[in-house]
Amino acid sequence: MLALLIVGSFVLLTITYGQGSNGLQRGVSTIFSPVQGVADRALKPARDLVDWFDKTFDARGENSRLKSELAKTREQAVAGLEALQENAQLRKLVKLDRDPALATSPYDLVTGRVIARSPTVWRSSVNIDVGSGDGVHVNDPVISGAGLIGRIASVEPGSSQVILLTDHESAVTAKVLPSGVQGVVKPEVGDPETLILDFIDSTKRVHGGQTVVTAGWRAQGLPPSLFPPGLPLGEVTKTSPIEQAIEQEASEQVDVRPFADLRNLDLVQVLTGGSRG
């Protein structure tokens, strides 16, 4: 019996690994996603209570960090106002009247609620209560109020799986503003508050506090990026020089703190439709 179960596990793993969802999973998910939705709503007060305790513990350390961030943000706000004025003038000059903040404009937004989350630290995915019936497709970008959180990995009629930025399978082409340095944002497994900006151009400098957004690469001969350009990803927290083992060339490791709180997600939005990149 035990041998049968072990062999069964290996067979299942071999058949289904890297294949996305199958009929069995679709069936189970279709049956249980309404149950999960009800359980999610019923347990929300209890979750909020535990979150309140957790946030209270966190608040002390957060306070001093937020004070220094506020001072920095004030400076940036002043600089931002100047940039906006300049931007408005330039837009008039080139007769460009589209709002730059609406990088997501060709997309329809489908709002969903997180109904389940992977329990192990080695995977970082959530399930949401909207699926193909709501127009959601595989690889659609998913955002929260603060910025990009991941992409749709598989879709069922009434639910979808979202691979978060902190999952080891995640990689997003990104650029640092205002310097324009480009690279790929990858996670560091086990640390939900740090992403790593990798493969960057070492000739340009990146500084702490700079904003990282999606690059939305569209290179000839290559598939376009899954994410539209300009979606906020995070803020540079640390840069440290690293020695490239192969090329013997100095480079930088850039740590990025995601804007979205990927550990506490409730309502999210899926960007459906539109052209990629």
Residues that bind another protein (CB under 8 A): 1-2, 5-6, 8-22, 24-25, 28-29, 32, 35-36, 39-40, 43, 46-47, 50-51, 53-54, 57, 114-123, 125, 127, 153-154, 156, 161, 168-171, 186-192, 194, 196, 263-264
By beta-carbon proximity to another protein, the closer residue of 228 and 258 is: 258
Shortest separation between residue 2's beta carbon and another protein, angstroms: 5
Shortest separation between residue 89's beta carbon and another protein, angstroms: 43
From the CB of residue 124, how many other CB atoms can be counted at a distance below 10 Å?
24
DSSP code string of 191-241: -TT-EEEES--TTS---TT-EEEE-----TTSPPPSS-TT-EEEEEEEEEE
Shortest separation between residue 187's beta carbon and another protein, angstroms: 5
Residue closest to 79 by CA, chosen among 147, 146, 178:
178
Shortest separation between residue 52's beta carbon and another protein, angstroms: 10
The span from the CA of 127 to the CA of 164, in Å, is 10
From the CB of residue 132, how many other CB atoms can be counted at a distance below 10 Å?
16
By beta-carbon proximity to another protein, the closer residue of 192 and 228 is: 192
Reading the block at residue 11, the tokens are 């067979």
By beta-carbon proximity to another protein, the closer residue of 153 and 271 is: 153
By beta-carbon proximity to another protein, the closer residue of 107 and 227 is: 227
Shortest separation between residue 186's beta carbon and another protein, angstroms: 5
By beta-carbon proximity to another protein, the closer residue of 75 and 266 is: 266
Residue closest to 140 by CA, chosen among 155, 123, 156, 158:
155
